């Protein structure tokens, strides 16, 4: 969906609220408190329904990621559109300016709330042939609303990635995670979390992959050949990831690295379905409860 299409489809709050209500309650309002399927829309409070059973009032954003937000609903829609469809996503500085948000912190929180929703609870394990490798990304230190928390903002961050290949060798889905170190325990832990047990794992032959339990493993010996030739797709993903982290964010931060990896993964896995990515993300946003700034800072979510 282009920006012009978005503006035509969602010109104002009412259009956004109608769309959201239809998405949440395709067969009509269902009370989230008691499950009664009857209710009426209040004339006095826009886009709020009252349950005919328990009389509780429910706004269209209640019980979603957008709950309790002071931001206009259309700003949420703009941000969802940008994150889902625009290949570079958006930084908090850009979001603040582009969506006219009062503070950097509010923009930062908006984006992190959406990133949190970018992992589908129904994601499945990678199948068939899977390339895996590790890489390092530069760390960012400035322009964050939250200081301290005892994690030094210097050096580089280690990332592990996996790319699922089709039978003719083309990339399908990716998975990316921060990696504490290259020990067998952590490398195998990642493979076991993301790769189906009957899949074949192709790596550069790092010793940590050698003791994979149930997975078939093909360790390509790097020798004189560069890893990007042996494992072309995982390296292409890493290159894209680094270009994005550096270009949009000037590097990543350790505390929130996982969220950025989730955002990248969301778009990569939907790169051929950008039309449905918006609906996809909006759906995920409606099914996840609200979290506060404190929850993000304390890493409770
Ligand atoms: Zn009810």
Q: How far is the CA of 48 from the centre of ligand 1 (A)?
A: 13
Q: How far is the CA of 285 from the centre of ligand 1 (A)?
A: 22
Average pLDDT over residues 41-59: 94
Q: What's residue 141's pLDDT? A: 62
Q: Is 187 left (phi over 0), alpha (psi -120 to 50) or beta?
A: alpha
Q: What's residue 221's pLDDT? A: 62
The tens digit of pLDDT for each residue in 78-96 reads 999 999 988 889 999 999 9
Average pLDDT over residues 201-210: 82
Cβ atoms of 263 and 88 within 8 Å: the answer is no
Task: Identify the band that residue 145 occupies on the pLDDT scale cut at 50, 70 and 90.
Answer: very low
Average pLDDT over residues 177-199: 93
Cβ atoms of 238 and 264 within 8 Å: the answer is no
Average pLDDT over residues 125-154: 71
Q: How far is the CA of 37 from the centre of ligand 1 (A)?
A: 8
Mean pLDDT of the chain: 89
Pairing of strands 216-219, 129-138: unpaired
Say which CATH architecture domain 129-260 belongs to: 2-Layer Sandwich (3.30)
CA-wise closest residue to 266 among 77, 64, 114, 66: 114
- For residue 147, pLDDT over 50 is answered with no
Rounded CA-CA distance 88/81 in Å is: 12
Q: How far is the CA of 99 from the centre of ligand 1 (A)?
A: 35
Task: Identify the band that residue 229 occupies on the pLDDT scale cut at 50, 70 and 90.
Answer: confident
- For residue 209, pLDDT over 90 is answered with no
Q: How far is the CA of 38 from the centre of ligand 1 (A)?
A: 8
Q: How far is the CA of 20 from the centre of ligand 1 (A)?
A: 19
Q: How far is the CA of 33 from the centre of ligand 1 (A)?
A: 5
Residues above pLDDT 90, as percent of the chain = 69
CA-wise closest residue to 281 among 67, 118, 86, 123: 118
Q: How far is the CA of 27 from the centre of ligand 1 (A)?
A: 16
- For residue 148, pLDDT over 50 is answered with no
Q: How far is the CA of 29 from the centre of ligand 1 (A)?
A: 10
- CATH 3.30.420.10 intervals, the chain: 129-260
Contacts of 108 (CB under 8 A, 6+ apart): 92, 144, 145
Q: How far is the CA of 211 from the centre of ligand 1 (A)?
A: 54
Q: How far is the CA of 291 from the centre of ligand 1 (A)?
A: 23
Q: What is the CA radius of gyration of the chain?
A: 21
Q: How far is the CA of 53 from the centre of ligand 1 (A)?
A: 5
Is the sign of the CA dihedral 17, 19, 25, 29 positive or negative?
positive
Number of helices (H) and strands (E) in the chain: give both, helices first.
11, 8
Average pLDDT over residues 61-77: 94
Q: How far is the CA of 258 from the centre of ligand 1 (A)?
A: 37
Q: How far is the CA of 159 from the centre of ligand 1 (A)?
A: 46
- The DSSP 8-state label assigned to residue 126 in this structure reads B
Task: Identify the band that residue 106 occupies on the pLDDT scale cut at 50, 70 and 90.
Answer: very high
Q: What's residue 155's pLDDT? A: 74
Average pLDDT over residues 228-240: 91
Q: How far is the CA of 120 from the centre of ligand 1 (A)?
A: 28
Average pLDDT over residues 280-299: 91
- For residue 143, pLDDT over 90 is answered with no
């Amino acid at each position: 969906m282009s920006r012009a299409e978005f503006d035509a489809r969602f010109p104002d709050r009412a259009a956004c609220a109608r769309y959201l209500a239809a998405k949440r309650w395709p067969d009509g309002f269902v009370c989230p408190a008691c499950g009664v399927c009857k209710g009426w829309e209040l004339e006095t409070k826009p886009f709020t329904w009252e349950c005919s059973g328990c009389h509780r009032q429910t706004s269209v954003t209640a019980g979603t990621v957008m709950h309790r937000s002071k931001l206009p609903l259309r700003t949420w829609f703009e941000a969802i559109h940008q994150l889902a469809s625009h290949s570079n996503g958006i930084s908090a500085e850009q979001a603040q300016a582009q969506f006219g948000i009062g503070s950097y912190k509010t923009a930062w929180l908006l984006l992190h709330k959406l990133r949190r929703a970018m992992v589908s609870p129904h994601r499945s394990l990678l199948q068939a042939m899977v390339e895996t490798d590790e890489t390092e990304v530069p760390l960012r230190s400035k322009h964050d609303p939250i200081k301290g928390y005892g994690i030094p903002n210097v050096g580089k961050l280690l990332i592990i990635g996996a790319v699922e290949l089709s039978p003719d060798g083309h990339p399908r889905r990716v998975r990316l995670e921060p990696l504490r170190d290259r020990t067998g325990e952590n490398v195998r832990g990642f493979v076991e979390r993301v790769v189906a047990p009957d899949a074949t794992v192709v790596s550069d032959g790092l010793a940590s992959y050698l003791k994979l339990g149930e997975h078939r493993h093909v360790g390509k010996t790097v020798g004189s050949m560069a890893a990007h030739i042996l494992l072309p797709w995982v390296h292409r993903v890493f290159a894209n990831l680094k270009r994005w982290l550096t270009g949009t964010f000037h590097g990543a931060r350790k505390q929130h690295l996982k969220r950025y990896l989730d955002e990248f993964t969301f778009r990569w896995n939907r790169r051929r379905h950008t039309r449905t990515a918006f609906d996809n993300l909006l759906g995920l946003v409606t099914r996840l409860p609200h979290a506060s700034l404190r929850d993000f800072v304390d890493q409770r979510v």
